[in-house]
Amino acid sequence: MLAITAVTTFLPFSSEKHAAGRLTTAFHALLAIAALLAAGMAQAEDGYDLWLRYRPLPDTQAALYRSHATQLVLPVATPTQQATRDELLRGLGGLLGQAPSVGSAVERDGAIVVGTPASSPVVARLKLDARALGHDGYLIRQTMVDGRSVTAIVGQSDVAAMYGAFHLLRLLQTARPIDHLDVREATRMSLRVLDHWDDLDGHVERGYAGNSIWDWQKLPDWLDPRYTDYARANASIGINGAVLNNVNANAAILTPLYLDKVQALAKVFRPYGIRVYLSVKFSAPIEIGGLKTADPLEPAVQRWWRAKADEIYARIPDFGGFLVKANSEGQPGPQDYGRTHADGANMLADALAPHGGIVMWRAFVYSQTNADDRAKQAYAEFKPLDGAFRTNVLLQVKNGPIDFQPREPFNPLFGAMPKTPLMMEFQVTKEYLGFATHLVYLGPLFEEVLRADTYGKGKGSTVAKVIDGELDGHKLTGIAGVANIGTDRDWTGSDFNQANWYAYGRLAWNPQLSSRDIAEEWVRATFSNDDGFVKRVVDMMMLSREAVVDYMTPLGLHHLMGKGHHYGPAPWDASGPRADWTPVYYHRADHEGIGFDRSSTGSNAVAQYAPPVADEFNDLKKIPDAYLLWFHHEPWSYRMRSGRALWDELVVHYTQGVDDVKQMRATWQALDGQIDADRYRKAAVFLGIQEKEAQWWRDASIAYFQSLNGLPLPAGYAPPQHTLSYYESLSFPFVPGHRP
């Protein structure tokens, strides 16, 4: 809500009488503005507050909650404790219209008691045991202290208590009942990390929300308040790590100049339980260390990395560790010296181990000269290395075997490396999903992958159970999300993109959560608690992911986007520099049919999955329609389950995607006036862009494939609005987020 903090009136040096009159006029103007605000007629919002808006609740709801928030009883001896107190005061004051008093003893009914048994004598007296919930887990329980009713938030660490405080605020924001609370929360993942693909010059690779939020030029001296708000937002959803720089790393990040800057950010994040990590370039010993080799088995290289780790931890004692992209897309790595990925990861792991650091080694690799199916390469390189990695190495695996497509089958490495802890890598930024303007809620995508059954140890061996350690007994567990955050005022390029950051964090904390429940939670915190509004917006969000699959890549098609920038359709592109960077490599369409044959009669990528999964993907009678063209090349006349020919089915799906966006747009238009005008209008305009671009995707794709098969469109379906040559002529050299 707009806040009036000061009014400056410029007065002529004439008379006190005239000055008094002008002041009276200004005062009346202030009263008029205040009346408008009170009437709810001028509530401007810009999205900066994310889901932590803390706007006043309705009077009856606020009065009910105020009886449970009369006082805060919590220690304030550490930065985390102080941050927890400040958040509760901010949140309760905003939601309830008044902030509770703060004290060290319970003085009245309705107090909120926060802390650990070690930090708070009051908590210690409650004898509420949170030890089984781990370092980050917490409980929230209504109980009694000296005959007075209290709400206790208890953890084994200050950060756990902070997470519990955010949980309580979330309940209030979303108008949930808080009588008789008995909440026990324990995270399923020890590392819950955001990967920032931010370069040192401020560019963000695959970033669609402005420049990098890290202002390296002004660090370490100027600490933008935005850094603290970033930390608050992450802590509110349980994210506990940030990789600050691009996986296509610049070795300069490891120089003293930049380590001082990293140290400054680590200090801001520390009270919120967030550790910093760095992407490192494998050739750093050559580029900044003066060595002639980066061979991981060379003693001088090993000494260099040990010394570098010592240097980092001297500045940042709680430094998290390294993220590494090696021997992928031209990046240097151990294979340059005839060594394995395990050799490279273990060398770095040994350097970090004395300090408790970890290595996240990315499995997104494919050889520079690829004679086989690109989808098979990660499995081929890493499966033989199962069990060869140090105990402080996590193998970071993308959700699918290609590259963050609108839909992919789960990566076959999940369930195939029981001796190696694997961490998930999701993409929160929408590189292949319409950038910032398309409304695409990724919760269903994340949920689909996490619930996929690998059959690694029989039925029920879900991807979630692989990465949370349950399936194979791993203690080191993790999940990473490629961030969608930038300097745009709304952080993510649109208000609805915030939902993907939020959903990632909530599922990182608990991969068993429902994406629909998360969407409802986000809508209530971000926009409104009106049940009718919430249901319509959640329905729209839940429709959005399938809509984008339909208008971009239906029935298992994939990687049809424009080369390099990945903006818009280009299924006709066959230009170099390598085949597996071109759409024609993936769809393999010709006059006779379409699809990539990965069945047992093709590249046999199906064999990388456990037998029950391989059998389903291999058998045309069993494979879901959603994956048909991922695993099979079929004639245009192939009869689908719907009874339609494959060509007709593709046209139906392309058209359905556009129709779904039209439905989303109509839903949003019907909600005009139910939220603030600025955020409503921006989403309305973006949905208009999405409808136009969905139509573009549909028409360009149909025009191209029709040029190959020469088939008519099914009856009742409109032809493309332009010729194929028109779509092929479009060029986009300056779209955001591409790699320079």
Does 326 share its domain with 456?
yes
CA 20, CA 12: separation in Å to the nearest integer? 11
Which active-site residues does the annotation give?
Answer: 329, 403, 431
Provide the pLDDT for residue 41.
37
Q: Which of 139, 165, 185 is the last residue of a domain?
A: 185
**Side-chain-side CA neighbours of residue 498 (13 Å):** 27
Give per-10-residue mean pLDDT for the chain (740 aa).
Answer: 30 35 41 38 79 97 96 97 98 97 96 98 96 97 96 98 98 96 97 98 97 98 98 98 98 98 98 98 98 98 98 98 96 98 98 98 84 93 98 98 98 98 98 98 98 98 98 98 98 98 98 98 98 98 98 98 95 91 96 98 98 98 98 98 98 98 98 98 98 98 98 98 98 84
Provide the pLDDT for residue 37.
40
Does 232 share its domain with 349?
yes
Provide the pLDDT for residue 14.
36
Note whether 430 and 440 are within 8 A (CB). Answer: yes
Does 242 share its domain with 197?
yes
Q: Is 740 inside a domain boundary?
A: no
Q: How many CB atoms lie within 10 A of CB 176?
A: 13
Q: Is 738 inside a domain boundary?
A: no
Q: Which of 135, 170, 185 is the last residue of a domain?
A: 185
Provide the pLDDT for residue 3.
35
Provide the pLDDT for residue 11.
27
CA 31, CA 405: separation in Å to the nearest integer? 54
Provide the pLDDT for residue 368.
65
pTM of the model: 0.94
Q: Is 99 inside a domain boundary?
A: yes
At 142, is the secondary structure helix, strand, or coil?
A: strand
Provide the pLDDT for residue 2.
32
What residues contact residue 8 under an 8 Å CB cut-off, 6+ apart?
A: none
Q: Is 308 inside a domain boundary?
A: yes
Does 519 share its domain with 560?
no
Provide the pLDDT for residue 28.
42
Give the domain CATH number at 224: 3.20.20.80
Q: Is 735 inside a domain boundary?
A: no
The CA distances from residue 206 to 197, 324, 436, 738, in Å, are 7, 18, 10, 6
Q: Is 621 inside a domain boundary?
A: no
CA 534, CA 177: separation in Å to the nearest integer? 17
Q: Is 203 inside a domain boundary?
A: yes
Does 96 share its domain with 201?
no
Does 571 share its domain with 691?
yes
Does 65 share its domain with 210?
no
Note whether 609 and 631 are within 8 A (CB). Answer: no
Does 223 share its domain with 86?
no
Q: Is 615 inside a domain boundary?
A: no
- The number of folded domains in the chain is 4
- Which range marks the domain in which residue 217 is found? 191-526
